[in-house]
């Protein structure tokens, strides 16, 4: 029988836009699942946030990505959306609400320089991320 485990994890954001490293949290769920080989799915159930896999060593990569997004998707640029956070929705759509990482030998099979990041684009606010580990 193939196993699966799902957890909803709270994430507290502190700025309007920021990336929060959730790699250790995702890894904890993989370890708790006791699944040795399969897939780990990371899903963000929000329309103004996202999940990204990228550089875990040089923090300037994150500031470069945030600056690029702000330059190309500026706030208040005459959007139709009346809530005033259209840029947040567009950034969320660009990065996307989900990622999948292979699980091998009971661990996330990330590259050496990869981390998993919760992307906040309309904070600060309480958020969550849903992590599902499935056996194969
Ligand atoms: Zn909105």
122: CA distance to ligand 1 center in Å?
Answer: 9
Give the whole-angstrom CA distance, residue 52 versus residue 22: 10
The residue segments making up the domain with residue 89 are: 4-135
Candidates 124, 114, 101, 9; CA nearest to 56 is 114
Q: Residue 2 — very low, low, confident or very high, per pLDDT cuts 50/70/90?
A: confident
User: How many domains does the structure of the chain reveal?
Assistant: 1
DSSP per-residue letters across 107-122? EE---TTEEEEEEESS
Give the pLDDT of residue 16: 97
Eight-class DSSP state of 27? H
pLDDT tens string 82-99: 999 999 999 999 999 999
134: CA distance to ligand 1 center in Å?
Answer: 33
126: CA distance to ligand 1 center in Å?
Answer: 16
123: CA distance to ligand 1 center in Å?
Answer: 12
48: CA distance to ligand 1 center in Å?
Answer: 7
CATH code for the domain of 48: 2.60.120.460
Residues in the chain: 136
Candidates 101, 97, 90, 136; CA nearest to 118 is 97
Give the whole-angstrom CA distance, residue 106 versus residue 14: 32
Q: Tell me how many helices (H) and strands (E) the chain has.
A: 3, 8
44: CA distance to ligand 1 center in Å?
Answer: 16
Please give the mean pLDDT across all residues of the chain: 97
pLDDT over threshold 80, residue 1: no
């Amino acid at each position: 029988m193939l196993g699966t485990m799902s957890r909803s994890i709270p994430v507290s954001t502190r700025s309007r836009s920021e990336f929060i490293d959730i790699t250790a949290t995702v890894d904890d769920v993989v370890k708790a699942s006791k699944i040795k080989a399969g897939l780990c799915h990371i899903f963000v159930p929000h329309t103004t946030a996202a999940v990204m896999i990228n550089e875990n060593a040089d923090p300037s990569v994150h500031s470069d990505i945030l600056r690029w997004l702000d330059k190309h998707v500026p706030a208040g640029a005459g959007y139709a959306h009346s809530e005033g956070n259209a840029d947040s929705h567009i950034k969320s759509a660009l990065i996307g609400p989900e990622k999948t990482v292979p699980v091998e030998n009971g661990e996330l099979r990330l590259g050496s320089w990869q981390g998993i990041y919760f992307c906040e684009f309309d904070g600060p606010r309480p958020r969550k991320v849903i992590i599902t580990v499935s056996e194969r």
